[in-house]
Amino acid sequence: MRRLVEFSDIACIENLRMSRNAFGKLCLILQNQGGLQDSKHVPLSSQVAMFLSILAHHKKNRTVKYDFIRSGRTVSKHFHRVLNAVLRLHPLLLANPTPVPPSNNCPRWKWFEGCLGALDGTYIDVRVKAEDRARYRTRKGSIAVNVLGVCDRDMRFIYVLVGWEGSAADSRVL
């Protein structure tokens, strides 16, 4: 754990896909608002690091088991604990939409009565293994994932869908 987070920002970014500062803030949010706590043998920071390592690099349980010197059962148990804490953050991270009221006099929104939000997609560049590059290659030739975002009229995210390969058409993602 020390070599991942305490050694350098570069090591933390390469392994967990976030800086040490962002990692510390995430741990605090998961503890204070998500209800995640240290377990008897695994500190909260290690639980979050295992979770991020799996998500960031698509690692298997047995690889994380080796990296963090834990049993497969421990890795699985703490992955699910952190996942549940992240899911409990939904109200904090995503806004609840309110439809555009019929009595809206704003010229921008009067045509969208009852609408909850607007959606759009974008590509985020990623690095993938050589054998997976064809799936992630966009129509313009870059290697990316397709991200769909839905915002309410106050430009707050109400839904985000991440992870479709760049080669996936927008209609398939929808």
Q: Quick one: pLDDT at residue 18?
A: 87
Q: Per-residue pLDDT averaged across 71-82, rounded?
A: 94
Q: Quick one: pLDDT at residue 173?
A: 67
Q: Per-residue pLDDT averaged across 156-166, rounded?
A: 81
Q: Quick one: pLDDT at residue 149?
A: 86
Q: Quick one: pLDDT at residue 30?
A: 95
Q: Per-residue pLDDT averaged across 25-37, rounded?
A: 94
More confident residue, 119 or 22: 22
Work out the percent of the chain whose per-residue pLDDT is above 70: 92
Q: Quick one: pLDDT at residue 94?
A: 75
Q: Quick one: pLDDT at residue 147?
A: 86
Average pLDDT, the chain: 85
Find residue 87's DSSP bridge partners.
Answer: none
Kindly write down the DSSP assignment for every residue of 2-25, as one continuous string: IIIIIS-HHHHHHHHSS-HHHHHH
Q: Tell which residue, 65, 59, 90, 67, has the closest CA to residue 77.
A: 65
Which pLDDT tens digit goes with each residue over 126-148?
888 888 888 888 888 888 888 88
136 CB-near residues (< 8 Å, 6+ apart): 126, 128, 143, 144, 145, 165, 166, 167
CA distances from 121 to 17, 126, 155 (A): 22, 16, 15
Q: For residue 24, give both structure tokens.
A: 């510390």
Q: Tell which residue, 41, 27, 40, has the closest CA to residue 82.
A: 27
Q: Tell which residue, 60, 81, 82, 84, has the closest CA to residue 72.
A: 60
Q: Tell which residue, 70, 26, 29, has the closest CA to residue 50.
A: 70
